[in-house]
Structure 1
Amino acid sequence: MASVEDVYDLMDRAYELPYGQAKSALLEEALRHAEALGDRDLAFEVRLNLTEAYQYGAEPAKSFATFSRCLAEYDADPARFTDTDHYNLLWQFKWIVYNMTYFPEVPLPRARDALAEMERRYQAAGYGLHAVYAHHCYLAQHVGDRDAAAEWFHRWQTTPRDDLSDCEGCDPSGKVDYLAWAGRDEEAVELAAPVVAEELTCEVQPQGILTNLLLPYLRTGRHEQAAAAHRRAYRIIRGDASYLAELGEHIRFCALTGNEARGLEILERELPLLERAGSPRVAMIFAAAAGLLLRRLAETGHGSAPVRRGGAEVTVDALRAEMESTAREIAARFDTRNGSAEQSRQVEETLAAEPLVDHLPLLPHARRSSAPPPPPAPVADDPGGLLDEAERHWERGDLEAAFAAWERYDAIGGSPGDAHAGRRADGLGLAAAVRGRFDEAVRRWRDAALAHERAGDEPRRQACLGRLGLALCELGEAEEGLALVEASTAYLIEHGDADRAAGARGRLARAYARTGRTEDAVALLRSALDAAEPPRAADGDLMILLARLLAESGDDADIAEAERLAGRGRRALRGRGGPDLADACMLHAALLTLLASEAEDMIETAQEALGAYEEALAAAPRSDAGLRATAHARRGELLLTLGKAAEAADDLVEAVAAFTALGSADRAALARAGLCRAYLATGRPLEAAETAEEALAMLPRDHDVRAVVRLTHGRALRELGEPEAAVDAFAEAADALDERSAPPEQIAEAHEAAGEILARLPDRRAEAAGHFAAAAERYDGVDRARMLRLQALMLYGVEGRDQVFDILARARTVLDALPHDDPAVLRERAQTAFEQGGVLEELNRAEEAADRYAEAADAFAGVGDHHRAAMAAQYRDRLRASGD
């Protein structure tokens, strides 16, 4: 038979666990043993604890029996019990009365009788009625008696608090819930403000009051506060069955704010909890919110979309029907019990709710990027003028404006004649080529060349043949393609103007590069640029092309030359401006960033790169969303490297929003990888954690960036006070870094971070020791010694003293090989010697222990830590005195 000590051991183990089935199971086992021992007082104590575990562990139905048994025992012989026992019973009375409203099987008169009994007992014990009035208000609210609820709320508000009132976080939370139900949103927000600002916490706060504030915040236009409340509260309650109703409120919030995608993520994650609903009422609230979200998804065209449910999938429409039916059926049972239609009214109101906000960004980067402005309307209104306008825009790189002018030409019917027909076919070929449709481009340019020939416009014909040849090279038809480009280039150099000649050289260089003749391309461009003084905009195009070809070689000298050429090309293109200048700036910035990592004047070079990105954003048209997004992303990463995290965050927010709007999920994920680091560096761990989680969900499993994101995620979780999740993140980061043969010190840092957290958690010292050992294997020098010492400390009491001493001896060996005058080494020697002294003392090796303490005292004094030096000296003297 188990002993009393065994029962207390089970209770102690339960105390270490979070509320839930595991905790309750240990207490149930403790109760069985206490009853078998016949120890009534011990059984009473266990039952009180079990009632609490059921209340907070999503099993309130079970609390009725344990509480009733405790109450009956108390009433049978009050003298047996302490004042604390009596107080705990009165406190738990509130839970039981409240729980009765959550089960339609409990008759309403029984709930009212229990509330009256609670009032009687509170008065008899000399307590006030503050908490009693609160529960009268809850009951009136539940049945829909608005007049009674208002009266009880008034009494609640005007009655002084006492020792049986809910805590200073929970009591306002209940009041906020009533005020929101009564439509008194401004009062709700005002009442809650001090509680939210003071960061009051208990078992159910701040998540409870923040959830209750979601609708008041939304309905009063406090959108940023609503988003922050959702993010913070949901993070605390996710995956917790005891918060099923609150999870439903967060799903409803998403449905009302244009965040249906996030709402669906939450629904898929939390839907399994519905099967473990602690009461019919929380199941009803969750199902109604799910029904609303699924209706919104169906209305936006996603009714047939799959929803993950356990190991299977169900459509949005099918799950919606089930959730609506569940909510309505439970509401009907409550209405029958209550004699009112209040619960059905609430369910129907939820199911039919319309969004309160078109789209509320939950994080800064989640805002919807504004659509780029349409290209300016063409100025010309005659066919020839429109063709001239389109070609000018094309030459400046403004493709959207060029397309708009060509489309306007088509809309007015064009004009007869081969000259205009050739120019329009040329434009169609250009449009096809920039979209990668080279087969179509070849067809269009063959037509254009014939039309130019018939019109007698040989320069246009030759330029067109050059484009045709380059397209054929893209299609792998090099023999015909190169011949056309070479002939076209020869003609235009001899007969064309400077701009056409430069364009022809650029086409030939591209054709050479495309067909594997990069050296010929480079030689051609260098020859052309030797005579380009002073350079014109067309020469700037050639400089940028040559810079790209040289940069692709990867040779240090070529990259340095590429940077110089990109800078010259950038300056030459300033007269033209627009997209071509923006592209040049982007290339120059990228090359400067590459060189900055090895340059002696790294900061100056990086600043020059920032200036190039700034000019790129100024030059790029608003319609070029892709280039602008890339500029923001690259500048953000560079700012992050320079330690300017706040500025980096602004750029990376823009990048994420823009890439998301463009549908570029992979690039949006990479921008999030940088943004989470920027958020963390600016003291925003919640945003950092959520952004990291978004990035991890989007990045491929084998992507190199995942390990860095995992590290950032772990650091953010550590700051948020989520130690278990932080340990998992650091451990996964260490594994990922190891798989990718990352620098050993990076892997060690991840192991060290995991070990530091585990060292502070109950019963996790052996795991902490394992991480410190892994870090020691990868660190060098004093860091290796430090990790060995921490490993030994974690094994103290877990392994034998001899093994602990052996690990400390290994740390000492590492330190002996390091410079003794290094302050970091000296401090670590002091700490290692001190720990060795303690172990030796326990091994009854007093003389050696005294020597180690003496060494520690000298070393601590050497680094100015006089307090610890004195302590080590005291231990030394004690041992030496006892030896004498």
Structure 2
Amino acid sequence: MSHDEAELWAALEAAQATGSHEAEQAQLEDVVRHADAGGFSRLAFVARRALASAYCVGRQWDRAFPLFARCLSEHDSRVREFSPAEAASLRSWYCWTIQSMAEFPAIGLPRIYAALDDVEQRYRAAGQNLREVYETRRSVAHIAADWEQEDHYFRQWLAAGGPDPGGLWDFALQVDRLTDRGADAAAYELAAPVLAGARTFGVPPVPVQIDMLLPLARLGRHAEARQAFRRARRDIFRDVYRFEYSGKLIEFCALTGNLDAGLDLVSAMMWGFPTLNRPTGRMGFAASVAVLMQQMVEAGRGAEPIDWSKQDPDEYVTAAQLLEQMRGIALDLAARFDARNGTTAQGDLVRARLAAQPVGRIRVGAAQFRVRRPIPPGLPAEELLSRAEWHFYREQRAVARDHLRALGQPPAHLAARRAHLLAMMDDGPDAGADLHDAAEQYQAADDLIGMMLCLCDVAVWMSDDGRQDAAVGVVTQMREALHKQPDQRAIALAEVAFAFVVVRSDPGAADEALARGAHHAAESGDPHVVAKVARLQVHRALALEKPPEQVIALATTLRDAAFAAGWPANVVRAFDYLETAHARAGTTAAHHQAIDAQIAQLPPGTPQLVRVGFGYAQARGFLANGRAADAVPALEQLIAEERPGGVPAEHWNWLAQAYFAAGRLDDAVDAADVDADWLDELQDRGSLATPSMADENRKLLVECYRRLGEPDGVSEQLEILGRKARERDDADLQAYVHALVGHVR
């Protein structure tokens, strides 16, 4: 980086526009370093303040303290060089820094009170109103649990001017004080106009909405609580908010019967928790997560795995384990604050939260889409590994991974199977080597069938890697060897592998292999293998434009085998194939009528997957025939069934359309937003069967936000659509965006 001052000023401006906290910090650190080296004191001062803010946004609050101290020292040594406005801004920063210092129990109260006296003297010397000083003293008293001082300085703050009429955070302070004191009715009376949208502040009222969640629930205002939750949940991801606010969303879910919605928030927010170094934030968020985990345990879900973004792939944490971790963090930090403050207030508050009982049931989501499922404690290693294999081969990788985490290092006789499964789960460049290693482990254990099937997987990997001749040689040898074994299932899988490898070079041989595989699969009695072969056969039949009757027969075999195998993804594929075949045959209407009749005739005790599959087929008919609202229940059940293996982005879009048709706008936003980015990526790749679906999904979000009165949501979606229109030079999409932007304005 250049040491020229003008270029450094430009670098400062560029750093603040990066959009990445890590990149901004690194660039600002460079600016500060070079400004100091060049003797550009004013530039260094400005850059330090910007860097302090960047550290706080990046959860490294304590790194801002020395930067402020340096700036204060430089101001005091060169007072005349600073304008009155710059000096006032520094005093405001001083107040903010003191509030932050109080959030670290390692910083003693005498030091904090001395800083308060110093900043008050500076305000008085400048003849400036003490309103901000009183608010700072009130905040420190609140953290120090000195309630008399807190009330005293709150009144001083009011006398000195009180809340800025247009300031959200001043208003939020008043609401927070009431909710802290359990004055739910008074808090509601104050907050009601904001919750209803009658009073606005130019920014989303997220802190007010979140602080009012539990009071609204306790007051029985469930509809308002649900609306406040959903709006706050959407807006909290559009800006940077303290972790405590995310924690309160989680805590609300815990105490209103929304455990799975709370788990989704934990998954989204826990990624930043390990690096959060602001103790009040860590204490508050940990307590909230502990409340949720406590409810999980009490609901019998203590053994359920808990996952979150950026978690180590090999880390296995159950709800019961996370409860102990988070409870320990919250209570330890509370004890540190109490030791500093000379009270038990923080510890008492945390313990009261941990002991809180549910306040009622409020449905905040469209449906309970549960992903993680508990693993019964005490399962033997053989059972854990078998379950992991079962889920993996039904395309439920996350659940398979959970079982492997619970398994850990297995007994020696299971090592080869574990190594094989891990290699199959690896999509990276080492997968081939790992498969070879697993085959060697099978051989060492004298498991010849396991070794040969593993080498069939090696051949498929080699073919995908472009090593076709070698792949054909390996799979041919293994297929011939397995045909000499009495294991019909293994023979069928070998034929499947052979078909995979040779289909590009000799499609006829692949079809013959699949026909042999279907025979051996049927002989094996294993519905999973039957479904595996049938899926490939029906796919080939469609590609070769075989008669619809043949496709329908194969797809029906696939459907029934997938039902028996408990394989949701293949159930959906089977009904998709049936829909396509009937469309080609011109019998779609009759097919939909037959589906309706089959659903009506399902006997009591019909397996849930069968009901879900036929419901999905019926929902497709509803969507095609202008009855989208009628598709809601079936699509909800489908997605709940699919979640462990991953929900296709198209299904979220269909559910969003159905919700929209039913007038359930908040639900439509939730569903459309889940995979909006993924739909865009699939559109860019050319992988969407209906390419316009990605744009239509965004347009649906625009319309929902418009009707819900959420302009930030409208603007966000229009900005994305506008960018897409420019990148594709799409005149129609550009016209849509321009028309809507003008309408919104």
- The match for 1:322 among 325, 338, 341 is 325
Q: Call closer, same or farther: CA 1:355–1:239 in 2, change over 3 Å.
A: farther
Alpha-carbon shift at residue 349 of structure 1 (Å): 1.3
Q: Call closer, same or farther: CA 1:617–1:268 in 2, change over 3 Å.
A: closer
Aligned match of 2:413: none
Write out per-residue CA displacement over residues 761-789 of structure 1, whole angstroms, 9 at most, x where no aligned residue: 8xx98x987x427x7xxxxxxx7xx89xx
Alpha-carbon shift at residue 153 of structure 1 (Å): 3.3
Q: What is the alpha-carbon distance in structure 2 between the residues aligned to residue 734 and residue 750 of structure 1? A: 15
Q: What is the alpha-carbon distance in structure 2 between the residues aligned to residue 331 and residue 748 of structure 1? A: 49
Alpha-carbon shift at residue 294 of structure 1 (Å): 1.8
Q: Call closer, same or farther: CA 1:307–1:747 in 2, change over 3 Å.
A: closer
> Which residues in structure 2 correspond to 1:376-387 (within 5 Å)?
none
**Of the two, which has the highest radius of gyration?**
1
Alpha-carbon shift at residue 335 of structure 1 (Å): 0.5
Alpha-carbon shift at residue 279 of structure 1 (Å): 1.0
Local SS of the residue matching 1:362: coil
Aligned match of 1:132: 133
- The match for 1:772 among 721, 728, 731 is 728
Aligned match of 1:273: 272
Q: What is the alpha-carbon distance in structure 2 between the residues aligned to residue 743 and residue 146 of structure 1? A: 61
CA contact 1:287–1:326 (8 Å) conserved in 2? yes
The aligned amino acid for 1:183 is G
Write out per-residue CA displacement over residues 140-185 of structure 1, whole angstroms, 9 at most, x where no aligned residue: 32233334433433444455358xx596111111222221111112
Q: What is the alpha-carbon distance in structure 2 between the residues aligned to residue 239 and residue 191 of structure 1? A: 26
Alpha-carbon shift at residue 288 of structure 1 (Å): 1.6
Local SS of the residue matching 1:10: helix
The aligned amino acid for 2:654 is G
CA contact 2:103–2:143 (8 Å) conserved in 1? no
User: Taking structure 2 as the reference length, what is the TM-score of the superposition?
Assistant: 0.58
Alpha-carbon shift at residue 689 of structure 1 (Å): 4.3
> Which residues in structure 2 correspond to 1:511-590 (within 5 Å)?
none
Write out per-residue CA displacement over residues 242-285 of structure 1, whole angstroms, 9 at most, x where no aligned residue: 63222222221221111222323332443232211131221111
The aligned amino acid for 1:730 is D
Aligned match of 2:409: none
- The match for 1:730 among 676, 680, 690 is 680
Q: What is the alpha-carbon distance in structure 2 between the residues aligned to residue 288 and residue 115 of structure 1? A: 30
The aligned amino acid for 2:68 is F
CA contact 1:660–1:668 (8 Å) conserved in 2? yes
> Which residues in structure 2 correspond to 1:81-230 (within 5 Å)?
81-157=82-158, 159-161=160-162, 168-196=167-195, 197=197, 200=200, 205-230=204-229
Aligned match of 1:687: 667
The aligned amino acid for 2:671 is T
The aligned amino acid for 1:248 is G
Q: Call closer, same or farther: CA 1:690–1:26 in 2, change over 3 Å.
A: same
Alpha-carbon shift at residue 198 of structure 1 (Å): 5.5
- Count of residue correspondences: 514
CA contact 1:169–1:206 (8 Å) conserved in 2? yes
Aligned match of 1:336: 339
Write out per-residue CA displacement over residues 68-104 of structure 1, whole angstroms, 9 at most, x where no aligned residue: 2222222333321123312321332332121022100
Q: Call closer, same or farther: CA 1:363–1:34 in 2, change over 3 Å.
A: same
> Which residues in structure 2 correspond to 1:414-813 (within 5 Å)?
640-641=623-624, 648-649=628-629, 651-655=630-634, 672-679=652-659, 687-692=667-672, 713-714=675-676, 726=677, 729-735=679-685, 737-738=686-687, 742=689, 771-772=727-728
Q: Call closer, same or farther: CA 1:150–1:772 in 2, change over 3 Å.
A: same
Local SS of the residue matching 1:323: helix
Alpha-carbon shift at residue 660 of structure 1 (Å): 8.0
Alpha-carbon shift at residue 17 of structure 1 (Å): 3.0
Q: Call closer, same or farther: CA 1:118–1:211 in 2, change over 3 Å.
A: farther
Q: What is the alpha-carbon distance in structure 1 between the residues aligned to residue 241 and residue 646 of structure 2? A: 38
Q: Call closer, same or farther: CA 1:679–1:36 in 2, change over 3 Å.
A: farther
Local SS of the residue matching 1:141: helix
- The answer to whether 1:286 aligns with 2:236 is no
The aligned amino acid for 2:129 is G
Q: What is the alpha-carbon distance in structure 2 between the residues aligned to residue 39 and residue 751 of structure 1? A: 48
Q: What is the alpha-carbon distance in structure 2 between the residues aligned to residue 5 and residue 667 of structure 1? A: 52
Q: What is the alpha-carbon distance in structure 2 between the residues aligned to residue 194 and residue 120 of structure 1? A: 38
> Which residues in structure 2 correspond to 1:232-271 (within 5 Å)?
232-238=231-237, 243-271=242-270
- The answer to whether 1:20 aligns with 2:33 is no
CA contact 1:659–1:665 (8 Å) conserved in 2? no
Write out per-residue CA displacement over residues 335-366 of structure 1, whole angstroms, 9 at most, x where no aligned residue: 11111111111111122221112x32112445
Q: What is the alpha-carbon distance in structure 2 between the residues aligned to residue 758 and residue 620 of structure 1? A: 43
The aligned amino acid for 2:167 is E
Write out per-residue CA displacement over residues 90-131 of structure 1, whole angstroms, 9 at most, x where no aligned residue: 332332121022100111122223333333433444443433
- The answer to whether 1:345 aligns with 2:348 is yes
Aligned match of 2:365: 363
CA contact 1:297–1:303 (8 Å) conserved in 2? yes
Q: CA RMSD in A?
A: 5.0
Aligned match of 1:798: none
Identity in percent:
29
Write out per-residue CA displacement over residues 270-320 of structure 1, whole angstroms, 9 at most, x where no aligned residue: 323221113122111122222222222222222233223432112332222
Aligned match of 1:306: 305
Local SS of the residue matching 2:317: strand
CA contact 1:168–1:200 (8 Å) conserved in 2? no
Q: Call closer, same or farther: CA 1:39–1:641 in 2, change over 3 Å.
A: same
Query: Which structure 1 residue ranges, 5 or more long, are not aligned?
Result: 369-552, 559-589, 695-712, 715-725, 776-782, 791-823, 825-884
CA contact 1:214–1:253 (8 Å) conserved in 2? yes
Q: What is the alpha-carbon distance in structure 2 between the residues aligned to residue 210 and residue 748 of structure 1? A: 31
Aligned match of 2:68: 67
The aligned amino acid for 1:10 is A
Q: What is the alpha-carbon distance in structure 2 between the residues aligned to residue 306 and residue 332 of structure 1? A: 29
The aligned amino acid for 2:680 is F
The aligned amino acid for 1:117 is D
Q: What is the alpha-carbon distance in structure 2 between the residues aligned to residue 693 and residue 291 of structure 1? A: 28
CA contact 2:24–2:54 (8 Å) conserved in 1? yes
Q: Call closer, same or farther: CA 1:317–1:747 in 2, change over 3 Å.
A: closer
CA contact 1:173–1:209 (8 Å) conserved in 2? yes
Q: What is the alpha-carbon distance in structure 2 between the residues aligned to residue 757 and residue 143 of structure 1? A: 40
CA contact 2:548–2:585 (8 Å) conserved in 1? no
Q: Call closer, same or farther: CA 1:661–1:734 in 2, change over 3 Å.
A: closer
Q: Call closer, same or farther: CA 1:366–1:315 in 2, change over 3 Å.
A: closer
CA contact 2:679–2:693 (8 Å) conserved in 1? no
Q: What is the alpha-carbon distance in structure 2 between the residues aligned to residue 750 and residue 691 of structure 1? A: 10
Query: Which structure 2 residue ranges, 5 or more long, are not aligned?
Result: 371-546, 553-577, 701-714, 736-745
Q: Call closer, same or farther: CA 1:643–1:630 in 2, change over 3 Å.
A: same
Q: What is the alpha-carbon distance in structure 1 between the residues aligned to residue 165 and residue 46 of structure 2? A: 22
Q: Call closer, same or farther: CA 1:642–1:132 in 2, change over 3 Å.
A: farther
CA contact 2:639–2:651 (8 Å) conserved in 1? no
CA contact 1:177–1:212 (8 Å) conserved in 2? yes
Aligned match of 1:42: 43
Q: What is the alpha-carbon distance in structure 2 between the residues aligned to residue 54 and residue 683 of structure 1? A: 43
Aligned match of 2:78: 77
Q: What is the alpha-carbon distance in structure 2 between the residues aligned to residue 304 and residue 337 of structure 1? A: 37
Aligned match of 1:881: none
Q: What is the alpha-carbon distance in structure 2 between the residues aligned to residue 685 and residue 597 of structure 1? A: 37
Aligned match of 1:527: none
> Which residues in structure 2 correspond to 1:821-836 (within 5 Å)?
none
Q: What is the alpha-carbon distance in structure 1 between the residues aligned to residue 176 and residue 223 of structure 2? A: 20
Q: Call closer, same or farther: CA 1:750–1:692 in 2, change over 3 Å.
A: closer
Q: Call closer, same or farther: CA 1:56–1:235 in 2, change over 3 Å.
A: same
Write out per-residue CA displacement over residues 831-852 of structure 1, whole angstroms, 9 at most, x where no aligned residue: xxxxxxxxxxxxxxxxxxxxxx
